[in-house]
Structure 1
Amino acid sequence: MRPLTDEETRVFFEKLSKFIGENIKLLIDRSDGPYCFRLHKDRVYYMSEEVLRKAAVIDKDSLISIGTCFGKFTKTKKFHLHITALEYLAPYAQYKIWVKPSVEQQFLYGNHIMKSGLGRITENTSQYQGVVVYNMADLPLGFGVAAKSTAECRHTDPMAIICFHQADIGEYIRNEDTLLG
């Protein structure tokens, strides 16, 4: 377990800023104490500094996981956000998409969101902006990337893709075999 390098930090924070913008500092300087990000086996973990101090005595080969996994770096050094970060990013999300109940299950199966399933979208969402997807009861369902801006959504075809799927809470069930074995 080690701190992120400058390049890893840049790539990681760029990805986070697509979803929560300047609110990244709110993740680090929290009211319950300072938090940090650490890299272990190409995965970025989020934990309190108190937990970090306690974990320092554990041999790194024996350590499987610590804190909350926010995502992982690929072999090409790109960062992929995992659904486990949703609980921490959703309260700070700048751009949101709400889906209709009829489309909620389709999104949880890993499908993109069409305009016909769009309930609401945050004003001034730009194209290719990271968004947090909610159901109409304000329950966060996952992450996506806006395929169209808010202005384009108003005048587009009902079958046009509005949001590209990235991750959703249904992944726990779909990937159960690969996660356990």
Structure 2
Amino acid sequence: MRPLTEEESKAVFEKLANYIGKNLIHLIDRKDEPYCFRLQKDRVYYVSESSMRLSISVGRTNLISLGTCFGKFSKSGKFKLHITALDYIAQYAKYKVWIKPNGEMPFLYGNHVVKAHVGRLTEDTPEHQGVVVFSMSDIPLGFGVTARSTIDSRKLDPTAIVVFHQADVGEYLRDEETLF
């Protein structure tokens, strides 16, 4: 595992800032112990510094994973968040969408969120902003990007897309072999 380069750090932090905004500082400066981002092959891991120090004793070729996988870099250099980062993103999310029970299964199968399935939406959510999708009982289901702002989404018909799907917890079953 190695530290991220400046370009890699910029790509990761820009993507995370789209979802959690200024709360990004809470990921790095934690009260319990310091955490950092490390790169292993093309995947970015969020790991405590104490665990990272312990991992030095394991050979690079033998180390498969350490900490929480936040995402991976594509061959073109773009960073894509994985669903494994949902627990951290949901804690610090700036904008949230709650979907009704009849909209949970379509979202968990990888479909976009339509207006008919939206239960609540954070006020003043701008267009093309990263949001965390919750069930009505406040269980994080995934994340996506808003198709319309809060004000514009009120005027839409029930079949219009409000949130574009990015990742959902159903990926643990659908894409099990590629997540880790």
TM-score range, shorter chain: over 0.9
| Structure 1, unpaired ranges of 5+ | none
1:78 paired with 2:82, answer no
Matched letter for residue 45 of structure 2: Y
> How far apart, CA to CA, are the structure 1 residues paired with 2:179 and 2:48?
25
* Cα deviation 1:114-141 (Å, max 9, x = unaligned): 0011111001111110000000000000
Classify 1:19/1:177 alpha carbon distance in 2 versus 1 (closer, same or farther; 3 Å). closer
Classify 1:141/1:66 alpha carbon distance in 2 versus 1 (closer, same or farther; 3 Å). same
Partner residue in 1 for 2:6: 6
Matched letter for residue 146 of structure 2: A
1:121 paired with 2:121, answer yes
Contact 2:82 2:179 in 1 (8 A): no
CA RMSD of aligned residues (A): 1.2
Secondary structure of the 1:33 match is coil
Contact 2:130 2:146 in 1 (8 A): yes
Q: Give me the identity figure in percent.
A: 60
Partner residue in 2 for 1:151: 151
Deviation, 1:157, is 1.4
Question: Structure 1 stretches (4+) deviating beyond 6 angstroms?
Answer: none
Alignment of 1:1-181 (within 5 A): 1-176=1-176
> How far apart, CA to CA, are the structure 1 residues paired with 2:84 and 2:69?
6
Deviation, 1:174, is 1.4
> How far apart, CA to CA, are the structure 1 residues paired with 2:177 and 2:66?
22
Secondary structure of the 2:20 match is helix
> How far apart, CA to CA, are the structure 2 residues paired with 1:144 and 1:124?
16
> How far apart, CA to CA, are the structure 1 residues paired with 2:6 and 2:179?
30
TM-score w.r.t. the length of structure 1 is: 0.97
| Structure 2, unpaired ranges of 5+ | none
Classify 1:74/1:98 alpha carbon distance in 2 versus 1 (closer, same or farther; 3 Å). same
Secondary structure of the 1:36 match is strand
TM-score w.r.t. the length of structure 2 is: 0.97
Aligned residues: 180
